Every structure is written in C-alpha cells, then in structure tokens.
Chains A and B, each alone.
Chain A
C-alpha cells in the first residue's frame, strides 16, 4: 500500500479524552500521551477522572475511567471545557463522556466492544453506532480489539494479555493524529517491560500498528499539529498537585532544617499525600498513620512542640475533627500546618469530587477567638510554593496555618518549571536557647514574650536546659505563659493573637492583576479556579470587554492592596465552587457590592461558564 503524505492542519489547542473500562489502562494511556505532549513543548493541563468504586464491574458506566488532556501552543489554563476528540474503548465510556464532547468533535470508537453484552452493560437500549444518536459528531469506527489480536496472533501471548495491549493501538493512533513522536513511548515501554521482553515487544508492535493505521487508512484525511508553546525557559516536568504538596513540604523541611513530621489518617483525596511523603524517608521524613484524624493532628502538634515541622492533611469531615487541636495550636502558639484537600460536603458528601466549600470553616471553624492564617494553592504546580509558604508562615509567626487545596488540584497535573533550590525564599529558624528576661538578678525564660516585629513567641524545645516551661490550653498570662483568669489579660491576649496573625499581611507581596488593570469587571478568585477564571478573562477581553482578575493566595489576612484594586473596576465578581463564601468575607471586609458566581456540582468551572456569566452581567 502506498503511503501518502497526508495534509497537516495546525491547531492552536486541542482537548483529548481517553476513556474506557477501569481495566483498559486509560490512565496510563493518557499519561503517556501527556508526556509526549509535554516533550513536544506544548502547554498542557490534565484531569484524570476515575471511579470512586475500587473495582467496579467491567463494562459498566460506573467503572469508566477517563483521562482528559488539554494542550496548546497558546497558554493552557484548564483541562479543557469541551472535548475535541474522545477515544471510547467501550459503550460505557461513550455513554459517560459523550456529553463532554463538543458538537462536531471526533469520536474514535472501538466498535468491537459494541456487542450485545457491552451495550447491555452500558444500558444502551439501541446501538448508538446505528441509531443516529451520534449524528453531528465525526465518528471513526475502528476494530481496535480485532486489529490488536490480528497483530499479535503470533506473539505467543494469551487472549487476556493481548487484550491488555489494545490501549497501545489507541495511543499510537492518537499520537499519529496529533503528529507526536513515538520515541518517548517506545523508551518508556522498553524501560517498563525490560524484564518481560515478550510483553514489551507486543506493546511496541501494537503501538506502531496504531500509528501506521493512521498513516495508511483512508478514514484519516488529515492529521493535526499543535506547535510548541512559548513557555518560560527552564527545566520542566509534569507534576500533580499532591506531588507538588509533598515536594513543597520536603523543601520547607530541607531549607529550614526542621525535620518533617507528617501525621495523617487515610481519607480521600488527602491519602495520596501520605502515600507520596512516605516514599521519601531518606529526607528524614517521619510519616505517622494515626488511629484517627484527631490523633493525626495531635501528633503533628506534639512534634511541633518538640521542634519539628508538624504537618497534617485531611479532607472533608476530617477537618471538622481536627478543629479542637487547631484551637490548641492557636492557644499554645506552636507552628502547625493543616492542609485541607477540599471535597464536596457536608458530611461524607462527594468524596471524589471537588469543591471550595471549606473556606469559612478554615477561617472561623473553631470555638473562641481563634484566628489563623489561611492560604490557598491555585494550580497543581503552585501547590509546591503554597505548601512551602504555609510552613514558613507557621514557623515565623508560631501559629497554625490552614492551606486550602482541593481534589481537582490534587489529582490534576501540569508542566512545572523545576525551581532552583537556591531560589526558594529564605527559611531560617532560631530556637530559644537562653533566658529572655533579666532584671535585677532575676533571670527567667518567659515563653510568651514576643518578637516585637512578628509578635511570635519564642520556640524553646524540650531538651533545652534552663528553659523548662509549661504550655497548654488554658488562657496564658501575657509574657509568663502562666495560667491566668484575669479579665484584662484575656482581652489583651485575644487581641495579641489576632494582631500577630494580622501582621502576616505585612509580607504579602503586591497583588498581581491578570488582564486589564482597570475597566468593567474584576474577577476575584481563590484556589483551583485560577485557570478557568484567567481563561475567561482572555476570552472576555477578546470580545472587547475590559476585564481583569486577581487570585488570592492569602485569604487571612487579606492582601492590604485589594481596596485600591477594587476601586478601578465597575463590577466585582467572585466566582467560587461553593454557595458563596469568599464573597461574604469580602463584603464583610470591604463593604462593597460583590457579585457571587457559584457552581456547586462537584466539578471545576469551565471557562465558558464564567465568560457567559460576566458577559450577561455587563450587558444587564
């Protein structure tokens, strides 16, 4: 058969979704395509979407596993609003993910899976390939299973082993379609199956078969190309949010010289952070899988008392359980980092779905007057810097810090420019070693005598001779730390603790405005919505509107320069994945008519949703 050079259409960006049964290897396929895409120097964002069920029955809709990938030569800020190409390995995958595909999008379908049994399992009454329901899409039917078996007929592998290779056919084909090199995947296969040459060769063969299928088959009149993006120069790697959190904590430990103690109780999606950190024991990381959420944070606080970097992470109901100990950390003024990977709530809620509904709890969810710094991460890679900063603030101000991330950030991935360790913010720690009070021969250590600049109390580790002292949950007398029920002292201490947290604002860097520096609308966001908000800003600007956005890393205290920025816009919109939380905080702080934009579906924003809301608002 003659091989024709097929025409290449250049696209600025594209969104591909690989979907199949949990056992079809879709996460792997997606990951390898993401890798090839990264190596082709596209900007990209990914969203793995796997079922909550651990081993869902094969072929069912609730067993569908998907991996969505948005890549471009232009800046890519979200995993993509609408899918350009869906690779559906079975009917259930088609059924679950068809709603995500844009009209006119391409459906690459493994038709061999569309037998009676497959259709029944997916609860299709009629075959969608035949009943006209896919009209308006470009359907590419491929006998993926049969072609894979044909290619491997002489491989010596059994039917099951051959079946497992069919994802490589799909991968090879999609690589060809988007003009991606095969080499990175070939190298990866060679490494992964180095000890199993038969499997390696079978996978390689099917990968090539898929690639050549695109080259030779008349179904494919055109292939696409997405050119390299203009990324800042440097060394890059793909990173998931949980990996970045783990690296940020380890970096904080390394730079501060404080051993990292991580107490955690398994909970979705925070467990992945425990998995990640427990791999890095050669950095001196102590991981402690506690008996419950309370013990996890208690042990972290106990470690902090001893002079370690005490960290805990949780999700959903776990944060409620940690509340009392966080209050103790406020009172004892010990550093403690609590990472909350938010998920849909209340109660067990939507454990595998994302939400931003813990903000008010993070700010106010303790009895008594118990303010603490609250930070949020805005992208998978940003999790690294947010975790580092949370640790730095906790230690510098001797305070618990809550860092808010969410399930979407934790599992999502993006290219990440690897930082130079030397470029990280300085993180020096000084423990108290000497008495801090000397007067007329009276030499004492006063555990609540504060640093005049930060108002932080000294950190004296047990084991330091002469600085023996007691701390605890009872109100402390100013300076001495002795138990005190004195009315005026209580008021003074409440004010001092609040002022200490407020002083964190002094080191918040100037707020950066994305988009127009003044104009019709300012979008004010926090957390994982950054990509969708900034993508919406660009689209709105392209429509001729003057729109900007700010994204808040610091939710308590708030950046001091916000009021001046708010002045410059006609309308202030607050998009959030909750029922309106930051918007209340802002109204309370600035007494302005902030407009809420809320999505509470367990799903991230799509840029087009924000775009449409703002466009309507401006017209009204």
Chain B
C-alpha cells in the first residue's frame, strides 16, 4: 500500500469523548409529556425482546441452499478487519432463507470498496460505474420485474457521484434493496473525506479539516420520498440481518444505511454506537409499536412538542408510559428520529425509520403497457409501418385519378 500514514492517525471519530446521554435541561414544572396517537401498551423497563428488533422467526420452509451456495469462487479482497466482511456474511446467511431462486438474484454495485460485493456472491451481478448502480438497476428491474435486485453502494458512490440516481430510484419506488455501506470515508482512493464525513475531519484531502457539511442519509432518503428507510450497523449482524430481511420483504425501494467500520482510514467512526461499552446508551433501537427505551430500559425518549428528549425511567419521575411509542408508518415521527444525528444529548436511532405502501415503478410501467395493449390491441408491425397516409405506385404508371 502506498499509504505511509498509520491508520491510527486517521481516526478522529474514534477519539471523540463519549457524551453523557440525556444531558438536557429538565422540563418546566407542570408540563405534561406529549404522547403520540396510537401509543401502545406499556412495557416493563427491563424486558428486552429475545429476538433482535424486526426479526422474524425462521419459517417452516426448508431452505434448499446454504450460505456456501451464495459464495463465489473469488477471493475476498477487502482489508482484514473491514466491516464489509460482516455484511457479506450476513447477506450470504440471509439469502438461503429467502424464498427466491438463486438465479433470480442480481447484485448491482457502483464503484468503491463496498461495490466489489457482487464479485463475491454466487448470483448474477454487475460491478458497474461509480454512482450509477441505481440507474442500471432501474433498467434491469423495470424490464425484468421478477428478478430480485440488490444495489450495493457506499457513501461516496450513493451520495456524492451518484446522488442524483439515488433520489430518483427512491421517488420512482422500484422494488429493489439498496444497501448503503457508510464508512464516512473514501477507502478505495485511500482516505479522502466523503459526503458523510463530519465537519473538521482531518484526511489526506483535508489536512486542515473538512469544511464540507455532511449529508444525513436517512433524512435525505426520507426527503426523496423513499418508501422504506432503515439504519443498521456491521457490528450487530442480528440486527443487520433483521433489517435486510425487512428490506427484502418490503415491496418498493428499500433503503438501508449500514454503519460500516473502515479500520484503515476511519477506524472507530461509529464505535460509540456499536461497541459494548457505549452502545447501550448511545444507540436507540426503533421498534414499531414499542416505546422508545434504551440503556437496558433505564432510559426512554419522549417528545416535548416536536423535540425528542431523554427521560430517566429509574428515578420515579417518568415511566414507560411517558415514552414515545414508535410508529414506523408515521412520516413526521420518522423525520424527527432522522434528525437525531450525532447528537451528544440523544442516542442515535437504528431500525426501520419509515415505511409506506406505494405502487412500484415496474408495476405501473407494465400495467400501463397492458392497458394500452388491451385498448389498442397487440401491436401489428406491418400495420404500423403502413399507418398514416399511404399511396400506391403501380408497376405500370397509370394516369393519376383525382
């Protein structure tokens, strides 16, 4: 590797002090905590679900294939310790459990470390052009709706060079899964700041600190009217698999942001959310119909007007009934959760932020073709060629008849 810098020098995120969660001013006396409509039944503080959030029990169907059947014969060439390995393994474990014939699965990627992914999958795949995977996937899925199309992309690929295609595939709502491996750095080009890098980040291309304001991928995709938006992390493969399964089950464009550690150029960028010591009080797992609690049930989130705030469930002042019960079909709630973005006073949300039902692009496309065909009849090429004003030139020209 031409990079002479030691990776340790490039880890500003990891060196950040962990912030005490819930460091917010107390509520004014007498103020009633606001409850969202549809708040579910209270849940005892310590009763964590046995299953990872969003996971489904394994079905009765016996998967014909195993993880090994989805691994190609190519050597995986990511750096040792890269978070991509965990994501690859999670996907390879999940696919045999899905009810999809292997030959119908297609992985389309752009360019970047994450985009090598299709080469390692024993499915159909295309490693395409930087940023263009959604465009190529759109043509494939629109013309072959029966295929199960997965887009693999990264923060530079999806949000910088390919930002336009990402928002358009989301608004059109093709039934695909979009897995964005966010490591907040350009890895394959050896360590420049990316569109998700935090301000002030020191990288090779920003020796005095990045002056770019970062994208918030969840807020961006919600803004593009995505019909399914989730966030997960490479270090919690159970949660990741659950999110990927839900993304696959969703009929429409399912966007999953995956916090992925680049141990070479941006080590520890998400450690506060992913590591055992800090994860409980820095990560908040959203679950549909459940109150928002974290820190092993000791803390919760309530809404003060539109503002989320941390409440202590141990001192008797607040109870689980005061916590916000999450509703992943509520667009406004999703927006509020999306805006909890690297805030020292609030835990970072993971899980399904939002989902809605909307017709897919390919369904609308083929429905329209079917409707027009039903109305006009199946196209007759010879008749089409002859359409419009025609006239005949006879072999032996006769006088023009008027």
Does A462 belong to the interface (CB within 8 Å)? yes
Within the assembled complex, what's the spacing in Å between the Cα atoms of A145 and B202? 76
Are the CB atoms of A282 and B372 closer together than 8 Å? yes
A39-B400, A236-B392, A306-B147 provided; 12 other pairs, C-beta below 8 A? A39-B391, A233-B393, A235-B391, A237-B387, A251-B385, A282-B376, A284-B369, A288-B138, A288-B365, A462-B140, A472-B126, A472-B127
Are the CB atoms of B379 and A286 closer together than 8 Å? no
A568 to chain B, nearest CB (A): 34
Contacts A/B (CB < 8 Å), 24 sampled: A39-B391, A41-B393, A228-B397, A233-B395, A237-B386, A237-B391, A238-B389, A250-B379, A259-B143, A261-B139, A280-B384, A281-B369, A282-B379, A284-B379, A290-B138, A298-B132, A298-B139, A305-B136, A308-B139, A461-B144, A465-B102, A470-B126, A473-B129, A483-B119
Does A361 belong to the interface (CB within 8 Å)? no
Are the CB atoms of B378 and A462 closer together than 8 Å? no
Does B31 belong to the interface (CB within 8 Å)? no
Are the CB atoms of A38 and B391 closer together than 8 Å? yes
Within the assembled complex, what's the spacing in Å between the Cα atoms of A253 and B339? 49
A268 to chain B, nearest CB (A): 21
Q: For residue A461, which residues in chain B have a CB less than 8 angstroms away from its CB?
A: 144
Q: For residue B138, which residues in chain A have a CB less than 8 angstroms away from its CB?
A: 288, 290, 295, 298-299, 302
Does A307 belong to the interface (CB within 8 Å)? yes
Q: Which of A238, A294, A310, A466 has the most CB of B within 10 A?
A: A294
Does B137 belong to the interface (CB within 8 Å)? yes
Residues of B near any A CB (own CB < 8 A): 72, 74, 101-104, 106, 108, 111, 118-119, 121-129, 132, 134-144, 146-147, 164-165, 168, 365, 368-369, 372-373, 375-379, 381-382, 384-395, 397, 400, 402
Are A298 and B389 also in contact (CB < 8 A) when A233-B395, A280-B379, A421-B382 are?
no
Pick from B72, B104, B146, B368: contact of A470, CB under 8 Å: B72
Are A462 and B147 also in contact (CB < 8 A) when A295-B165, A302-B137 are?
yes
Q: For residue B128, which residues in chain A have a CB less than 8 angstroms away from its CB?
A: 298, 328, 472-473
Within the assembled complex, what's the spacing in Å between the Cα atoms of A234 and B392? 6
Are the CB atoms of B144 and A462 closer together than 8 Å? yes
Does A467 belong to the interface (CB within 8 Å)? yes
Does A172 belong to the interface (CB within 8 Å)? no
> How would residues 308 to 322 of chain A score, 1 for a CB under 8 Å from any chain B CB and 0 otherwise?
101000000000000
Within the assembled complex, what's the spacing in Å between the Cα atoms of A426 and B115? 40
Pick from B111, B124, B390: contact of A237, CB under 8 Å: B390
Are A281 and B135 also in contact (CB < 8 A) when A41-B391, A328-B128 are?
no
Are the CB atoms of B384 and A41 closer together than 8 Å? no
Within the assembled complex, what's the spacing in Å between the Cα atoms of A247 and B383? 11
Residue of B nearest to A284 (CB): B369
Are the CB atoms of A483 and B137 closer together than 8 Å? no
Q: For residue B125, which residues in chain A have a CB less than 8 angstroms away from its CB?
A: 469-472
Q: Which of B111, B142, B394 has the most CB of A within 10 A?
A: B142
Are the CB atoms of A294 and B135 closer together than 8 Å? yes
Are A250 and B143 also in contact (CB < 8 A) when A467-B103, A470-B127, A473-B127 are?
no
Does A435 belong to the interface (CB within 8 Å)? no
Q: For residue B72, which residues in chain A have a CB less than 8 angstroms away from its CB?
A: 470
Does A35 belong to the interface (CB within 8 Å)? yes
Are the CB atoms of A305 and B126 closer together than 8 Å? yes
Are the CB atoms of B377 and A302 closer together than 8 Å? no
Does A354 belong to the interface (CB within 8 Å)? no
Pick from A183, A228, A281, A462: contact of B106, CB under 8 Å: A462
Are A472 and B384 also in contact (CB < 8 A) when A236-B391, A306-B144 are?
no
Pick from B127, B144, B386, B387: contact of A474, CB under 8 Å: B127
Q: For residue B397, which residues in chain A have a CB less than 8 angstroms away from its CB?
A: 41, 228, 230
A11 to chain B, nearest CB (A): 16
B241 to chain A, nearest CB (A): 22
Q: For residue B124, which residues in chain A have a CB less than 8 angstroms away from its CB?
A: 462-463, 468-470
Within the assembled complex, what's the spacing in Å between the Cα atoms of A302 and B119? 17
Residues of A near any B CB (own CB < 8 A): 35, 38-41, 181, 183-184, 228, 230-239, 247, 250-251, 254, 259, 261, 263, 280-286, 288, 290-292, 294-295, 298-308, 310, 324-325, 328, 332, 417-421, 461-474, 482-483
Are A302 and B135 also in contact (CB < 8 A) when A332-B126, A462-B124 are?
yes
Interface SS of chain B: mixed
Q: For residue A288, which residues in chain B have a CB less than 8 angstroms away from its CB?
A: 138-139, 142, 365
Which 7 residue pairs are nearest across A and B when measured between Cβ atoms? A472-B127, A302-B139, A298-B135, A299-B139, A283-B379, A302-B136, A462-B124
Within the assembled complex, what's the spacing in Å between the Cα atoms of A232 and B146? 48
Are the CB atoms of A250 and B74 closer together than 8 Å? no
Residue of B nearest to A234 (CB): B393
Q: For residue B119, which residues in chain A have a CB less than 8 angstroms away from its CB?
A: 470, 472, 483
Are the CB atoms of A236 and B122 closer together than 8 Å? no
Are the CB atoms of B389 and A237 closer together than 8 Å? yes
Q: For residue B394, which residues in chain A have a CB less than 8 angstroms away from its CB?
A: 233
Are the CB atoms of A281 and B368 closer together than 8 Å? yes
Within the assembled complex, what's the spacing in Å between the Cα atoms of A332 and B140? 15
Q: For residue A280, which residues in chain B have a CB less than 8 angstroms away from its CB?
A: 379, 384
A227 to chain B, nearest CB (A): 9
Q: For residue B386, which residues in chain A have a CB less than 8 angstroms away from its CB?
A: 235, 237, 418
Are the CB atoms of B140 and A303 closer together than 8 Å? yes
Q: For residue B368, which residues in chain A have a CB less than 8 angstroms away from its CB?
A: 281
Within the assembled complex, what's the spacing in Å between the Cα atoms of A462 and B400? 57
Residue of A nearest to B165 (CB): A295
B226 to chain A, nearest CB (A): 15
Are the CB atoms of A468 and B103 closer together than 8 Å? yes
Q: For residue B365, which residues in chain A have a CB less than 8 angstroms away from its CB?
A: 286, 288
Q: For residue A420, which residues in chain B have a CB less than 8 angstroms away from its CB?
A: 382
Are A463 and B132 also in contact (CB < 8 A) when A247-B385, A284-B369, A421-B382 are?
no
Are A470 and B384 also in contact (CB < 8 A) when A233-B394, A301-B136, A305-B126 are?
no
Residue of B nearest to A295 (CB): B135
Within the assembled complex, what's the spacing in Å between the Cα atoms of A469 and B126? 9
Are the CB atoms of A261 and B384 closer together than 8 Å? no
Pick from B74, B142, B385, B393: contact of A421, CB under 8 Å: B385
B37 to chain A, nearest CB (A): 36
Pick from B111, B123, B147, B369: contact of A286, CB under 8 Å: B369
Are A250 and B389 also in contact (CB < 8 A) when A228-B397, A286-B365, A463-B146 are?
no
Within the assembled complex, what's the spacing in Å between the Cα atoms of A282 and B72? 41
Within the assembled complex, what's the spacing in Å between the Cα atoms of A418 and B118? 47
A447 to chain B, nearest CB (A): 10
Are A325 and B132 also in contact (CB < 8 A) when A40-B400, A462-B124, A482-B74 are?
yes
B395 to chain A, nearest CB (A): 4
Within the assembled complex, what's the spacing in Å between the Cα atoms of A327 and B376? 39
A460 to chain B, nearest CB (A): 8
Q: For residue A299, which residues in chain B have a CB less than 8 angstroms away from its CB?
A: 135-136, 138-139, 142
Are the CB atoms of B142 and A286 closer together than 8 Å? yes
Within the assembled complex, what's the spacing in Å between the Cα atoms of A233 and B168? 51
Q: Which of A35, A281, A417, A482 has the most CB of B within 10 A?
A: A281
Are the CB atoms of A302 and B108 closer together than 8 Å? yes
Q: Which of A181, A247, A298, A303 has the most CB of B within 10 A?
A: A298
Residue of A nearest to B365 (CB): A286
Are the CB atoms of B391 and A261 closer together than 8 Å? no
Within the assembled complex, what's the spacing in Å between the Cα atoms of A325 and B111? 13
Pick from A40, A292, A307: contact of B144, CB under 8 Å: A307
Q: For residue B373, which residues in chain A have a CB less than 8 angstroms away from its CB?
A: 281-282, 284
Q: For residue A282, which residues in chain B have a CB less than 8 angstroms away from its CB?
A: 369, 372-373, 375-379
Within the assembled complex, what's the spacing in Å between the Cα atoms of A417 and B391? 9
